[in-house]
Amino acid sequence: MNLKQQLKTVTDTIEKLKGEDIVTLKILEQSADIEAIVIATGRSIQHVRGISNNLKIEAKRLNMKMLGIEGIQTGYWVLIDLAEVVVHVMTGKTREFYKLEKLWSELKNT
């Protein structure tokens, strides 16, 4: 599965589950290991967990490489490592606090 197909699978799954503010950042220039990051917001801890669990199931169903999933226990910020694509699903407050989009855009400009 190429990068475009992986990103479509991830974003389609998040959209189906009503994830909000989906952002895709292509970061190959800033990272030797990761090609893209997808960031999305869930309305609650349960919503973040639900989106993350469904992404995990869909990735396995499509035989996408899954290196790990972290944060599912707390549900404030779940990271799903799909090798070339890393997905961050988080609550609105967590996303606002860490501002990952800003961090990666600042790295791009250095």
Domain range annotation of the chain: 3-108
E-strand ranges in the chain read: 20-26, 36-42, 68-70, 77-82, 85-91
pTM for the predicted model, two decimal places: 0.91
Per-run averaged pLDDT (10 residues), the chain, 110 residues: 93 97 83 83 98 96 94 96 94 95 66
At residue 49's C-alpha, the angle toward residues 45 and 51, to 5°, is 115
**Would you give the distance in Å from CA 58 to the centre of its chain?**
13
Domain 3-108: give its CATH code: 3.30.460.10
Q: What does the pLDDT read at residue 30?
A: 64
First CA to last CA across the chain, in angstroms? 31
Distance CA 69, CA 105 (A): 24
Distance CA 1, CA 92 (A): 31
Q: What does the pLDDT read at residue 28?
A: 67
Q: What does the pLDDT read at residue 78?
A: 98
